[in-house]
A = this chain, B = another copy of it.
Amino acid sequence: MSQSPKKPLAVLQKAVNKKVSVRLKSEYEYRGRMSNIDPYMNVLLLDAEEYLSGSLHSNFGKVVIRGNNVLYIKIDKDF
């Protein structure tokens, strides 16, 4: 049933240019197009929106999130 599944970092790499939600250890979450990501999970987001406890907090343009703050990265279903 499983043909060699992809490693988590390879799946993230493959999701480049897709929309993602980056949740941090705090209650902040950033949604945007993932322009790139590296193995440390440093993420470059475009057209990023910052959510605090689920509601829109501010709009960013281009932002690099330092990987060590990341709790999870959710890949939007429609991709």
A24, B71: Cα distance in complex, Å? 9
Task: For the complex formed, measure the closest distance between the CB of A61 and the CB atoms of chain B, giving whole angstroms.
Answer: 4
| SS of A interface (majority) | mixed
Q: Please name 20 further chain A to chain B contacts, defined as beta carbons within 8 Å, in addition to the given A6-B44, A11-B36, A69-B72, sorted by A numbering.
A: A1-B17, A2-B16, A5-B17, A5-B35, A7-B38, A8-B42, A8-B44, A11-B44, A11-B64, A12-B64, A41-B66, A61-B74, A61-B76, A62-B74, A62-B77, A63-B73, A63-B75, A64-B73, A65-B71, A66-B71
Chain A residues within CB distance 8 Å of chain B: 1-2, 5-9, 11-12, 16-17, 24-26, 30, 35-38, 41-44, 60-77
